[in-house]
Amino acid sequence: MTKDIKAQKRLLAYIGSGPVIERDVKKLTHINIAFGGLRRDGSVSGANHEKVKMLPKFREWNPDIKVLLSFVAEGGQADSFSVCAKDEGLRRKTAENMARLVEETGLDGIDLDWEYPCVPSNGYDVCLEDRENFTLLCLAISEELDKLPGKKMLTIAAGADLYYVKCTELDKLANILDYICLMTYDLKCGFHALAGHHTALYSNRGDVFTNSCDQALRLFNSAGVPKEKLLMGCAFYSRKWENIADRNHGLLQICKNGGGYGPDYEPLEKDYINKNGYVRYWDEEAMAPYLFNGSTFLSYDDEESLANKAKYVVENGYGGLFYWEHKCDTTGKLLDALYRNIKA
Q: Could you give the residue ranges of the DSSP H alpha helices within the chain?
A: 22-25, 55-61, 80-86, 88-105, 130-145, 162-167, 170-173, 213-222, 265-271, 303-316, 333-343
Among 130, 123, 313, 172, CA closest to 231: 313
Among 305, 314, 311, 313, CA closest to 333: 305
Identify whether 169 is a catalytic site residue.
no
H or E stretch at 35: strand 30-38
Kindly name the residue from 22, 50, 104, 115 that is annotated as catalytic.
115
* DSSP SS3 for 284: coil
Among 312, 319, 318, CA closest to 344: 312
* DSSP SS3 for 298: strand
Catalytic residue annotation: 115
